Structure 1
Amino acid sequence: MKRQHHVVVIGGGTGGLCLAQALHKAGVSVAVYERSRTRTERLQGYRVHINPHGSQALHECLPADLWQRFVDTCGSSGGNFAFLTEQLDELLEIGDDLIGSADPASGHHSVSRITLHQVLSAGLDGILHYDKEFVRYERNSDGTVTCHFADGTTATGDIVVAADGGGSRVRQQYLPSAGRVDTGIVTVAGKFPLTDATRNLLPSRLVDGPNNILPKPGRFMFCAPHDLADGRNDETYDHDKVLFDNTTSYVMWAFAAGRSRFPANVSDVDGIGLRNTVGRMIEDWHPGLRTLVAGTPGEAVSLLPIRTSVPVKQWPTTNITLLGDAIHSMTPFGGIGANTALRDARLLSHNIIDAVQQDRDMLAAIADYERQMVEYGFAAVRSSLRNATQAVSEATIGRVMFKTILRVCSAVPMLKRKMFSDLGSSE
């Protein structure tokens, strides 16, 4: 007789919900415990890029109807991806021949984080529990693990998965040596609303596709359209702040620099103050970029301190494991954090389901997941940290060399294909 396994997932973010969807679809008992009090409390309003790893995970883990809902509610990122100077001079443009795919399950997608969370939460009634703030866990004599929550309730499982983000309390108890560090980089992000009136205020390049802006050393900017002009993304929750709106089109932008370039009190500045601070820091840039920032509502501007996980050595496998930011939190430079969490969910769910259905050793299944996850997960951490460090480096020669490489790649198609065919991958 096959042993029954109950999986307790701590954290209802992207990776945890994707894992729960896959396990539930396969008939494996699972429950998710999320500290937010309601479904809408922790919604984050910025665009997220889903790369082929993320697409493959969502396609495999979601029921067919939810996968189709994901595809139907994705926005358009426009056309080609470009590297530009702060005056919008083109350094390199990367077309669909390198990053496009006719198959949605292996393609790139632009999605509102709010909409993604709504899709991942759908159909989990009785499985997804809110207002459950994890406090600690304890091991029981029968091998199970009991999780304790701030409201005095508990949940016991045969397997516990920490999916509770970069500040994971499960990780702090289970792997206290695995921490995060501040990179010293500060990012300010905002959403410029795209309407019939505002589209014409921006140069077409800023509306046509994603862009990396490479100014003089020490600063960096990324922007990308999330365009719903064809009426997609009509599922939403009412909310009175622009930050949480997922039914209108916008250009998402993020400006990054070392902390020393920002005011000392930047952490205490509101959205309007942050927007104005960035405006002063780009006052000699192209007017289109200045308009992008100045035209963003203050309530749609946020401060994002950049932290990263410290790589850890492989630990002895138990029936407690981790996924996503709970173990390999990374910088947003490269756009692979959410995709790596989805990749974790796909691999872990596959291994758990296989162990349950084939009545195989569950610890061996978890060990195989952890071995692979640590390898690709921390490779992504290193890659994103390298990207972040280079993006805000004060070294003039490095920035000049990188711009030269981009121009050479633009002139030599074969070299461009070799260097950028895996754009957005965590490999």
Structure 2
Amino acid sequence: MSNNQQRPPILIAGAGLSSLLLAQSLLRSHIPFQIFERDASLSFRGQGYRLRLSTEGLDAIEDVLGPDDFKRFYDICGKTGGSGFTLMNAVTGEEIEHTVPAKLNSRDSLIVGVARGEMRKFFLEGCEEYIQWTKKVVDYKDTPQGVKIIFGDGSESVEGSMLIIGDGLKSKISKKLSEGKIKHFDTLARGIHGQAPTPAFKGLTEGVFSLIDKSIEREADEGEGEGETKLSVITNVRSKDMDDPTLQFGWTMAGSPGLIKAPNDDYTIIGKQAADIAKSLTSKWHEKLKPLFEQMVEDEAAFWKITCSSPSGVPVWTNHPRITVIGDAVHSMTPAGGIGANTAVRDSALLGRLIREAGGYREGLTREYEEKMRVYASEAVAISYGLAEKQFGIRIDEETSPTV
């Protein structure tokens, strides 16, 4: 262990899902690392919606955790059977014929999901002593034998053998690494996260439901066409939990550009203001669906912006032998298809395996990772964007659309 402690650590910017799963991989490989996170704790802000885990996502997590710890992780996941995926007219309450999305079921003919916060908490286990909170990463610099992180207060990290950028789509250093080639576009579509106690869902059977409202109207912003607008909500109902009224199920609302607007365009607002907008937008929905919003936990409601990285694919930048990027920092996606988090954990598994096989840093490692990552991540972004084009009417022009 003493020799291991003397080795320069791998520096990880950000403590999101991909960063923490990578940390788990390094922990199991006995490779030293340090994580730097701008928030004060995991519970510092809302953790977002429930994630559906695909076959690829579960395989990646199992590859990192190993059979025993993966079983513990799988046990905390919700498993939904029943009718699977149901598309429903939110106003009439009638089912809409559709083609079942490919790969919705991931294991045991079940749809597997987990709350983002629970997933982060699980991935943090054992890594607590290697994370520093309230560390805002703003820059990096090369050193004779590695790399250092520069923080917002001007201080610097220890020298690391590598730097893994995993601090999300607003990462300053991913833009520096790629010389501005990594971009995340504001689709102008907006959403609201919410949750309600299980009795509010008694009008639905077990399964994943996509509730669609094409009838809703909005005032067109200046320069926008009138066009068809759409509001949708996706939720996951697990029958085995329905008998416990103390539990809550979550839902995620998404609206076409111009439909959902936060007060003063402030999308950091959490609570009643977001809840009131969700209730207003669904006030004409079918009676069996309205309880999801009428009984919602108002304090938990939160706005969110729907963003997406370059639909043409993950760009190619000049490779840095000691620095690379994972997760949303390189390939953010729309919620359509539920692909983003699954792609992020694939990054963790791939990069973690390459580092484990090398015993740490080696020349050419980041290049090999990036070449492989670009293939599956570019495909995932294209699918996510294509689905969002159809569902929300978004359009990204990579030359003129606004970025975040």
TM-score (norm 2): 0.81
Matches within 5 A, 1:18-417: 18-42=21-45, 44-79=47-82, 80-86=84-90, 87-92=92-97, 99-100=104-105, 102=107, 108-142=111-145, 144-151=146-153, 152-177=155-180, 178-195=182-199, 198-200=200-202, 203-205=203-205, 208-216=206-214, 217-225=228-236, 227=238, 229=240, 248-259=247-258, 262=261, 265=264, 267=266, 271-310=271-310, 311-318=313-320, 319-356=322-359, 362-393=362-393
1:12-43 C-alpha deviation (Å, 9 max, x unpaired) = 11000101101210122222111222343245
1:81·1:93 contact (CA, 8 Å) conserved in 2? Answer: no
2:54·2:104 contact (CA, 8 Å) conserved in 1? Answer: no
Query: Could you tell me how far 1:82 is from its partner in structure 2?
Result: 1.2
**Matched AA of 1:209:** G
**Matched AA of 2:393:** S
| 1:102 to 1:381, Cα distance in 2 relative to 1, 3 A | closer
2:190·2:260 contact (CA, 8 Å) conserved in 1? Answer: no
Q: Measure, in 1, the Cα distance between the counterparts of 2:237 and 2:62.
A: 21
1:146·1:155 contact (CA, 8 Å) conserved in 2? Answer: yes
1:262-283 C-alpha deviation (Å, 9 max, x unpaired) = 4774537763333332333333
Query: Could you tell me how far 1:193 is from its partner in structure 2?
Result: 1.6
| 1:349 to 1:273, Cα distance in 2 relative to 1, 3 A | same
1:285-309 C-alpha deviation (Å, 9 max, x unpaired) = 3222222222212212111111122
Larger displacement relative to structure 2 (117-126 or 128-137): 128-137
Query: Could you tell me how far 1:149 is from its partner in structure 2?
Result: 2.2
Structure 1 segments unaligned to the other structure (5+ residues):
232-246, 395-427
Larger displacement relative to structure 2 (336-345 or 371-380): 371-380
1:328-358 C-alpha deviation (Å, 9 max, x unpaired) = 111111111111100111111111212228x
Query: Could you tell me how far 1:389 is from its partner in structure 2?
Result: 2.1
C-alpha RMSD of matched pairs (Å): 3.1
Q: Measure, in 2, the Cα distance between the counterparts of 1:29 and 1:283.
A: 54
1:340-380 C-alpha deviation (Å, 9 max, x unpaired) = 100111111111212228xxx83323212101212221222
Number of residues paired by the alignment? 368
| 1:223 to 1:174, Cα distance in 2 relative to 1, 3 A | same
Which secondary structure state, in structure 1, belongs to the residue aligned with residue 377 of structure 2? Answer: helix
1:47·1:226 contact (CA, 8 Å) conserved in 2? Answer: no
Residue 419 of structure 1 is matched in structure 2 by none
2:179·2:317 contact (CA, 8 Å) conserved in 1? Answer: no
- Structure with the larger helix share: 1
Q: Measure, in 2, the Cα distance between the counterparts of 1:102 and 1:94.
A: 20
Q: Measure, in 2, the Cα distance between the counterparts of 1:270 and 1:37.
A: 18
Query: Could you tell me how far 1:9 is from its partner in structure 2?
Result: 0.9
Percent of residue pairs bearing the same amino acid type: 25
Query: Could you tell me how far 1:102 is from its partner in structure 2?
Result: 4.9
**Matched AA of 2:367:** A
Larger displacement relative to structure 2 (13-22 or 276-285): 276-285
Query: Could you tell me how far 1:100 is from its partner in structure 2?
Result: 3.8
**Matched AA of 2:377:** G
Which secondary structure state, in structure 1, belongs to the residue aligned with residue 363 of structure 2? Answer: helix
Query: Could you tell me how far 1:93 is from its partner in structure 2?
Result: 6.9
1:5·1:356 contact (CA, 8 Å) conserved in 2? Answer: no
Structure 2 segments unaligned to the other structure (5+ residues):
215-227, 395-404
Which secondary structure state, in structure 1, belongs to the residue aligned with residue 119 of structure 2? Answer: helix
| 1:66 to 1:296, Cα distance in 2 relative to 1, 3 A | same
| 1:356 to 1:166, Cα distance in 2 relative to 1, 3 A | same
Residue 404 of structure 1 is matched in structure 2 by none
**Matched AA of 1:88:** G
Query: Could you tell me how far 1:78 is from its partner in structure 2?
Result: 4.7
Query: Could you tell me how far 1:169 is from its partner in structure 2?
Result: 2.1
Residue 406 of structure 1 is matched in structure 2 by none
TM-score (norm 1): 0.77
